[in-house]
Every structure is written in C-alpha cells, then in structure tokens.
Amino acid sequence: MSDDFDVLSDWYGSFFTAPVNAFWERMVPEAATAADVAFVRRHIASAPARLLDVPCGAGRHALALARAGYEVTGVDVSEEAIERAAKAGDGHSATFRRGDMRNLDLDERFDGVLCLGNSLSYFPPDEMRTFIASLAERVAEGGRLILDTSCCAESLFPLAEVREVAFDGGTYRSRYRYDARLSLLKTKAELRLGEEKHELLYAHYVVTSGELVRMVEAAGLQAESLSGDPDGTPFAPGMKRLLLVASRS
C-alpha cells in the first residue's frame, strides 16, 4: 500500500461497491448479527412494531428483524447494497429504499430507529449533530433510537498502526493516520478477494461518548443506556463498541 491518505469528504457515497459489500458479508458471522438483533429487541417495542434502519447496508439487521415479525424500512445510499438486500428478502415485511441518510424523505415516525455500524462518524461534529437530530425526529412517542459506533475516542485510543484480518476467501489489511486538528481518523486498506486486490480509502470523525449523549439529548431524546457490547455490559474506556439507547417519552 502507498502512503497516500487523501480521502474525499464524501467518500461513503461511492465506497460501498460489490467487493466491499461482499467483504462485509463474509466478515460478519451470523452469531454477531443475532446478538445485535437480540439487543435491539430488548430495547424496542415488540413485533409488529415499525422500525427504520439507516443506513441499512445489504439488510442483514433489517431482514433478521423482519423475520422476527417487525415492519422494517431500510435506507442506504449504495444501490448495490439495496439490490443485495432486496434479493435476500424472503417475503417478510422489509422495504428497502435508496437514499442519502442525511436527507431522509420520510414523513412517518417509527417505534424504533436504528443506526448500526460506524455511520455516525462519516460526518464532522456539526453534521453529526444534524444527522442525529434528523433521526430523533423519526422516533415516535414512546419509541427509541439506537446508535452504534466503534469510533468513540474511548474505544480507539491508543491507536494501533496496522490491523490485518483473514476471512474465508481473502484478507483485509488496514493502516491508520490520525489528524489531531480535525479529530479525523484516516484509513487506507487493502482488500484481497481471491485474486482480486482493491485499495480503499475512508475516514471517520472521532468524538467522545459524552459528546454523543449531549447530541442525543439536544435532539430532544433521553439517553437511557450506554453499552459496550450486545449483552448490555456498561460502556467503559477500552471497550471496542458503544451502543447508545435513547428514548422519546
């Protein structure tokens, strides 16, 4: 891999191509999806509650929740991901729409709004605050918002220089560069799928867990819990993931 870390600010609009989506499908075991779904179900209304999953990717959470009886709407900017999600559907009540998660063309409110993965951190803090407020607007009375990120400062630091993982059919090797002025983590990765090699550039803005709580509460919701894993372990420094649950009373 070269040392070029120049990442476009809107990298995520074209990043999630067929090779990247195939990589995520192979990387995430079914048990991990099942644990996420169990966490969601513990914190939201029982099926057939209405859920919004944004961005939904190829629908691994949305489809699992639909199979459990929920009425799910998934939104994602990646046309390829939406096509994968639609093809994977098996008659359950999941609807998939292509769209920019920052400009949701949805008037209705939902019993649960989910933002799973590191998608929050695609945006600088001001835009992140606006995005969270937009998600909060879609939460019905008595409903909940669930935010998921591995890009909290408490989770990332001290930062490893290189990470490499092997999976069925390939490897993924990533290197990091941190811009302290912007609190921006830049990543350069090499994805190998069989004989194919793909070089990838992406970036995430780093905030603290407390900043996320303040953003959620400024949007009119009440932060209920911060967990470090789907089992509900309270979030603490060094935990690799934050699952924040907020409610509208």
Domain locations in the chain?
15-150+207-247, 155-204
Q: Per CATH, which fold does 15-150+207-247 belong to? A: Rossmann fold (3.40.50)
Q: Identify the pLDDT of residue 3.
A: 63
The two structure tokens encoding residue 70: 């929920």
Cis peptide before 237 (omega within 30 of 0): no
Sign of CA dihedral 79, 130, 108, 118: positive
Q: Identify the pLDDT of residue 103.
A: 87
- 10-residue mean pLDDT series, the chain (249 residues): 73 89 87 97 96 95 95 94 84 84 91 95 95 96 97 93 89 94 95 93 96 98 98 97 96
Beta-carbon contacts of residue 92 (< 8 Å; ≥ 6 apart): 63, 66, 67
- Concatenated DSSP letters for 41-95? HHHSPPTT-EEEESS-TTSHHHHHHHHTT-EEEEEES-HHHHHHHHHH--SSSEE
C-alpha span between 10 and 189 (Å, rounded): 17
Give the CB-side neighbour count of residue 196, counting CA atoms within 13 A.
11
Q: Identify the pLDDT of residue 75.
A: 96
